Structure 1
């Protein structure tokens, strides 16, 4: 057991370095995915901020929108994971690894950990942009900051496993990019940009009963001292549920792929 665990850690570390080096050598995809939330943040704040703040002012809208943009940054970053996994599958890299004496699960673990690290770095960068344009936390304690960071990491882990599954079922990288579009689309129809009660009545259930809205509202509650209610438990449940579902889905598809 000890030898097998050591082998898994060693090979997973090797795969993690491989994925981080790949991201550094080909930064265009990461930059494109990262620029999307940054541009949306600047667009909504400086173009629509005054009108969408309901008279509360641009600074109030900055405080409202930044937590949603941070979650959107996480979802955007994981799209690159689906593309990367699909690229490994379609180009035969995984088939080559299968012939080598390495821990089989290390290939996926390297992708997942690398994606979570990139998500965290992307969140820090977008958060810095938010602070630069005026975002300020309201009386958040150190524990609340830690909880907010933990939520972002857990959500990144959950979405990454889903993205890995999407990459494994895609016949090519273009299909992987298209399959992962819901990860970018869902935040747009959540409470990220406007409150749910300001949406049309028929649309409110769509925005409310999806994973991003409770996560965004929990993040707002932690950073802005607003009410969280049941959103904290819902965000935790969605994150854990998606992570477990994504893990077993990815493991099943990866096992099928390596048996061909």
Structure 2
């Protein structure tokens, strides 16, 4: 068996934060990095930094200023694919097959705006519809798969700093949580975060930039996830988050997640 180490990180502009991406990769030595919210066109992606430290395989789906996803790897990537779950051409998904036979799917679910009502806020409806398309994809999924990314939903009461105060806040509303639950059930996805860090233990991945001192206030949410097909989940040996990254120079408001597999 070989050890496979995969990371996922909403980087909130890969070019603006290229220094901390390099710092993270040099510290953690992951085999594969999945990024969301890269905010860069494919032709201006910063390939050279990654090549300089041994990452020579890329699959990217970008657009200027908004959205964008990428898979950067030391290992070969095959059979790339893109799903338009947003149904408007936004760059929110990229998927590949690894040599070990596992599909790796990297997704950036829309945030959904500020008002949790599709009649008043079209962005919220788009988010729910995005998840609906993912549910239909999951129902037909046959390949062993690792699904990673920024889902923009904190499903459990312990996945937010205050369940009561966030019930009407987009990312933790009952309809979002219910819809994410249907997505999970559609393929019997295993939530690796809560497999290795069982509830009600604290496990946040995002803190707002608005907080003067994010660590002191600790008003976090678990918006980023790694889910595995049941057969892939059995290969997982570890899963953790890298919270110190939130304090690095010019940080993302999200932190990286890492899963280790024996394949």
User: What is the TM-score with the length of structure 1 in the denominator?
Assistant: 0.24
Question: Which structure: greater strand fraction?
Answer: 2
Larger radius of gyration: 1
* Higher RCO structure (Cα 8 Å, ≥6 apart): 1
User: What is the TM-score with the length of structure 2 in the denominator?
Assistant: 0.24
Question: Which structure: greater helix fraction?
Answer: 1
